[in-house]
Amino acid sequence: MPVTIRRATIEDMLCMQNANLNNLPENYLFKYYMYHILSWPEASFVATTTDDVGGPADATLEELAACCEGPVSATKGDPCYVRSGEKLVGYVLAKMNDDPSQPSEALTGHITSLSVMRTYRRMGVAEKLMRQALFALSEVYRAEQVSLHVRQSNRAALHLYRDTLEFEVLKVEKSYYQDGEDAYAMKKTLDTEALQPANFQRGAEQDDLDSDLLEDLVREGVAEVEA
C-alpha cells in the first residue's frame, strides 16, 4: 500500500475539500482552495495511494454496461478518488501570508490546513506532507518562517508540530475557533538547507563515490578464500 506525496493541483481540490470535511470542523469554500493553488501553486501537497481501488472487477453490472457507452469507472463520482486508480489520503494546504492585519518583517508562510484520512494515520504521512510544504515555502517562496494555528485539545497535531517538526508556541489566542476553543499560535523559522527532503529520506546512508564496486567484490572474494 505505497503512499505517494506529490504537489497538489486543481484536479485534487474536490478531494482535498472532501478530506477536510471528513477530518476537521474548520471548513472552507471551494474558491479558497482555488485561491491557494492558483496563487501559490507549489506550496500545497497531497498524499495519494492506488490501494483499495475499485475498477471493472468491482463494478456492478449496470456500471459495466455504462462503460460500453463511455469512459465510466466504478470510482466515478467518489470524492475520495482524484481519478480512477488514485485515491487521496491526505493533504496540506499552504500559502504565503497575505493578511494585511498580520504584518511581518520576515517573509512568512502559513499552513492553512492539514489532514490525513483516519485509516492512514500514524504512518508518517502528515510529517512527510508538512516537510514537503515547509521546504517548498522556503525554497520557492523564500519564506523565512511559517505560522499556523492548532486547537489546544488537538494532541495528535500538537505532537506533530511541537515535538516532531519543532514549531514553537508563540501564544494562546483566546476563543480563536468558532466554537470558542482557544488556539496555540505556532511558528517555525525555516532553513532551506536543513529542510532538504534528502535529509529525511534515509539521510544516514551516504553514497561512497570513491570506491569501485567490482574491485570491492574481488577484494572481498580474495579475503574469503584466504580466510
Q: What is the contact surface with ligand ACO in residues (CB under 6 A)?
A: 23-24, 111, 113-116, 121-127, 148, 150, 154-157, 159-160, 163-164
Residues 4, 45: contact at Cβ < 8 Å? no
Residues 108, 145: contact at Cβ < 8 Å? yes
Residue 112 beta carbon to ligand ACO: minimum distance, rounded to whole angstroms: 7
Residue 150 beta carbon to ligand ACO: minimum distance, rounded to whole angstroms: 4
Residue 207 beta carbon to ligand ACO: minimum distance, rounded to whole angstroms: 26
Strands 145-151 and 108-116: parallel
In the bound state with ligand ACO, the residue whose beta carbon lies nearer, of 16 and 59, is 16
Residues 49, 82: contact at Cβ < 8 Å? no
Nearest-angstrom CA–CA distance, 186 and 172: 9
In the bound state with ligand ACO, the residue whose beta carbon lies nearer, of 74 and 160, is 160
- Please compute Rg for the chain using Cα positions: 22
Distances (CA, A) of 172 to 22, 148, 183, 219: 26, 12, 6, 63
In the bound state with ligand ACO, the residue whose beta carbon lies nearer, of 43 and 59, is 43
Residue 151 beta carbon to ligand ACO: minimum distance, rounded to whole angstroms: 7
In the bound state with ligand ACO, the residue whose beta carbon lies nearer, of 152 and 154, is 154
In the bound state with ligand ACO, the residue whose beta carbon lies nearer, of 148 and 195, is 148
Residue 83 beta carbon to ligand ACO: minimum distance, rounded to whole angstroms: 23
Q: Residue 128: in which H helix or E strand, if any?
A: helix 125-139
